[in-house]
A and B are shown apart, each in its own frame.
Chain A
């Protein structure tokens, strides 16, 4: 349904081009759920942003149902059915939650404000709230997820949906993402959470800007554990030594 072929991405940082992604090849099929995982800064969000058209690759192609959409803008991709729930959703002064949700289903046959309820927010309480700093981080994040559900795109990419969500709502979140998945949709969840990694069909491990491994949970898990370890661990002081220095 959605594929990235030989994607290279460079971004400008202080007038310097910095390589972010190298030769990323991914194919997301309809009816399947995927998890993208990997260390902080490895390039997971960048992969999602290239798919959405927010970042433009320096080479390689993005294909949607076989069509090369590399030259399409963000809006056009959204209208064709690609959706992305941001890792850090921006805040909007003066914009009510209701307007955001309405905009989300305006261009698609999505769902109404009931999506808020699905994600554990009472519509009565939240529809008129403003998407500014008066909402907490977790609230903003849930509204972002509700917005993607309202948009109901064919390809739905959730970028760390669990971040900032309380433990009680986390189970609900997993259900909502799972239940919203259908045979004609592709769900990609960027996550570090074991529970999310457990529910998907395939896990993709991104490291240092490229796909380092993909496979089932059983195949990938040992690798993830290893990548979570501090690479300089051996030269670090042992924890006991550090504690020994602490005044008691």
Chain B
């Protein structure tokens, strides 16, 4: 049974109102508590490690929810999930982790996802992080996603963390085969004493493999962020990395993009920018009647949309 708190966390991270539609697995405080497989979408616990396997049959279309919630303090949860999207399948997968830390100890979730998007398949993957708790216990999230985008497949990742999580180290690795496409959107807002690191390594393995990485972040208070997106082309692939951060207050942002080509037909571009909110933007919105704070809020929420 899901408690009111569970439901609230699920709504925050996956926009769920009660039980998810389609296939799902809900993990709470280190254990799978509810699960539903469907024909062509099998979800089963892993035998040798904590975590699940999601196996989608070729050609299958559908939605899969695999949220994780933590409601206890002094808890460290580690999972290894394996997701296999069969050839020509078309799947929306909603992961994410919501933490309500009721105490002063740490509540930590380290999720390791290994995702195969088979030939010609399409995956839209979203992962949202949320944290709350009044007693000061830390909320820590360290996701690692390893993605294999096979020939002609398409994968879109949307990774979102807006406030609430104290420390996060995110590692995302992807291999994109011939004709495969990867699009990754990362949106991050940290404040107070929070810190966030994101390391991305995308390898374009062959001809016509493409990747686009768009990272937008806002750093407020004394928070610290660091980005290290790396894009490698072994073949004639095309890739674009765009890192854009708004820095405020006493925050620190570090961005170290890297592009690396081993083929003369490769085309790689990176753009990185860090800056405060432009004065003219604030003035424009204030000239519509917004206060300075409202203008700031509107600019940030648009930027992170």
* A binding-site residues for B, Cβ under 8 Å: 52, 54, 73-75, 78-79, 83-84, 86, 88-90, 92-96, 99, 103-104, 106-108, 147, 151
B285 touches A103 (CB 8 A): yes
- Selected from A79, A92, A106, the residue in CB contact (under 8 A) with B299 is A92
Hey, what's the 0/1 contact readout for B73-84 against A, CB within 8 Å counting as 1? 000000000000
Chain B, residues 254-292, CB within 8 Å of chain A (1/0): the string is 000000000000000000000000101101111111111
> Is the pair A99, B286 in contact by a Cβ cutoff of 8 Å?
no
Instruction: Tell whether A93 pairs with B291 under 8 Å between CB atoms, given A54-B283, A73-B286, A103-B298.
Output: no
Give every chain B residue within 8 A of A92 (Cβ-Cβ).
281, 299, 302-303
Q: Report, nearest first, the 4 A-B pairs whose CB atoms are least far apart.
A: A107-B289, A95-B302, A90-B280, A78-B289
Known contacts A54-B283, A103-B290; 9 additional CB pairs below 8 A are: A74-B287, A78-B288, A90-B280, A94-B216, A94-B302, A95-B299, A95-B303, A99-B298, A106-B288
A9→B292 CA distance, assembly (Å): 23
Residue in chain B with minimal CB distance to A104: B288
Q: Which of B85-128 contact A (CB under 8 A)?
A: none
Contact residues in B for A103 (Cβ distance below 8 Å): 285, 288-290, 298
**Cβ-closest chain B residue relative to A77:** B287
A113 to B303, CA, bound (A): 22
Residues of A within 8 A of B290 (CB): 75, 103, 107
Q: Identify which of B286, B288, B289, B303 contacts A94 (C-beta below 8 A).
A: B303
Contact A75 B292 (CB under 8 A): yes
A62 to B216, CA, bound (A): 41
- How many residues does chain B have at the interface if contact means C-beta atoms less than 8 Å apart? 21
In the docked arrangement, what's the CA distance between A104 and B289, Å? 8
Q: A94-B303, A95-B299, A95-B302 are in contact. Are A78 and B287 (CB under 8 A)?
A: yes
| B284 and A90 within 8 A (CB) | yes
Jot down 13 A-B pairs with beta carbons below 8 A, ordered by A: A52-B287, A73-B286, A74-B287, A86-B287, A92-B302, A92-B303, A94-B303, A95-B305, A96-B302, A103-B288, A107-B288, A107-B290, A147-B288
Can you name the residue of chain A whose Cβ is closest to the Cβ of B300? A94
Tell me if B162 is interfacial: C-beta within 8 Å of chain A: no
CA of A84 to CA of B284, assembled, Å: 9
In Å, the complex CA distance between A209 and B220 comes to 40
**Contact, CB under 8 Å: A86 / B284:** yes
Residues of B within 8 A of A83 (CB): 287
Bound Cα distance A73, B294 (Å):
14
Most buried by A among B244, B280, B287, B304: B287
CB distance from A104 to the nearest CB of B (A): 5
Which of A88, A95, A151 sits near B288, CB closer than 8 Å? A151
Q: How far is the CB of B1 from chain A (nearest CB, A)?
A: 40
Cβ–Cβ contact B288 & A99, under 8 A:
no
Q: A residues within 8 A CB of B244?
A: 93
| B287 with A90: CB separation less than 8 A | no
**Contact present for A94 and B304 (CB under 8 Å):** yes
What is the CA–CA distance of A88 and B15 in the complex, to the nearest angstrom? 39
Q: How far is A73 from B291 in the complex, measured between Cα atoms in Å?
A: 9
> Judging by beta carbons under 8 Å apart, are A99 and B284 in contact?
no
Question: Given the complex of chains A and B, what is the CA–CA distance between A44 and B281 in angstroms?
Answer: 21
Expressed in whole angstroms, the Cα–Cα distance for A88 and B291 within the complex equals 21
A195 to chain B, nearest CB (A): 26
Known A107-B289, A151-B288; judge A95-B283 contact (CB<8 A): no
Inter-subunit contact B305/A75 (CB<8 Å): no
The CA-CA distance from A230 to B290 in the complex, in Å, is 43
Chain B residues contacting A89 (CB-CB under 8 Å) are 284
Cα-based distance from A99 to B278 in the complex (angstroms): 18
B303 x A106 contact (CB < 8 A): no
Instruction: Judge whether A108 and B289 touch: CB under 8 Å.
Output: yes
In whole Å, how far is A128's beta carbon from the nearest beta carbon of chain B? 11
Cβ of A79: which chain B residues have Cβ within 8 Å of it?
A: 289
- Bound-state CA distance A15–B231 (Å) is 43
State how many angstroms separate the Cβ of A22 from the closest Cβ of chain B. Answer: 24
Q: In chain A, what residue has the closest Cβ to B289? A: A107
Q: A106-B289, A108-B289 are in contact. Are A90 and B281 (CB under 8 A)?
A: yes
C-alpha gap A52/B290 in the complex (Å): 13
Q: Do B286 and A74 touch across chains, with their CB atoms under 8 A apart?
A: yes
* Minimum Cβ distance to chain A for residue B8 (Å): 27
A99 vs B292: C-alpha distance in the bound complex, in angstroms?
A: 17
The contact of B303 among A74, A93, A108, by CB within 8 Å, is A93
